[in-house]
Amino acid sequence: MSIFNLDGLKKRMQGAMDALTKEFNGLRTNRASTHLLEPLMVDAYGSRMPMTQVGTISTPEARLLTVQVWDKELVKAVEKAIRDAGLGLNPSADGQMVRIPMPDLSLERRQEITKIAAKYAEQGKIAVRAVRRDGMDELKKLEKESKISEDDHHHFADEIQKLTDDFIKKIDQALQQKEKDILQV
């Protein structure tokens, strides 16, 4: 049993990657995606509730999102939440169904969204590097307290750097894929 926990660092780096994936899912591409509406909050029953708790979000077509609102009293609130989210969407109600057609993104808007994606990726990299720094600090502390040898310190430091490089590479690949999705006409 090693005194240093590399798995804990790996889990934290994976957490940063998962957070980035969630951020990317909220960015609009030309295709309809339920992830676009999931983080939206709706004013319902005197409080703010996630969209997923007031209706079923689906994509019946590549360029159409729908929200089947469970309570007809909340249809207007769902429409308002979508309209006010700054996503450039124009929902329309049809009974308890809210239809959201996906308009074409202008080249300008797609370029703005790719910049936002790059910013999210950079935040992910910063989070991964912070985990690396914590791991390196822990190694220094363990060596100073004579709980690990200098050789162990170097071995673990190399492992942490390798892990960091792997996650940074995954973030770069995720960003490339997202940019490709956004810029695709």
For residue range 121-156, list pLDDT tens digits in order. 999 999 999 999 999 999 999 999 988 889 999 999
Task: Name the least confident of 25-29, 84-88, 93-97.
Answer: 25-29
Q: Report the C-alpha gap between 98 and 80 in whole angstroms.
A: 11
The mean predicted confidence, pLDDT, of the chain is: 88
Please give the full DSSP string across 20-37, using - where no structure is assigned: HHHHHHTS--SS--GGGT
For residue range 38-59, list pLDDT tens digits in order. 888 899 889 999 899 999 999 8
Domains of the chain: residue spans and CATH? 6-25+106-183 (1.10.132.20), 34-101 (3.30.1360.40)
Q: Is-contact 58 34, C-beta < 8 A?
A: yes
Q: What percent of the chain has pLDDT over 70?
A: 97
Say whether 66 sits in a helix, a strand or coil: strand
Chain-centroid distance, C-alpha 136: 27
pLDDT at 1: 40
Contacts of 11 (CB under 8 A, 6+ apart): none
Question: Given phi > 0 = left and psi -120 to 50 = alpha, else beta, which region is 45?
Answer: left
Confidence of residue 184 (pLDDT cuts 50, 70, 90): confident
Q: What is the pTM of this model?
A: 0.70
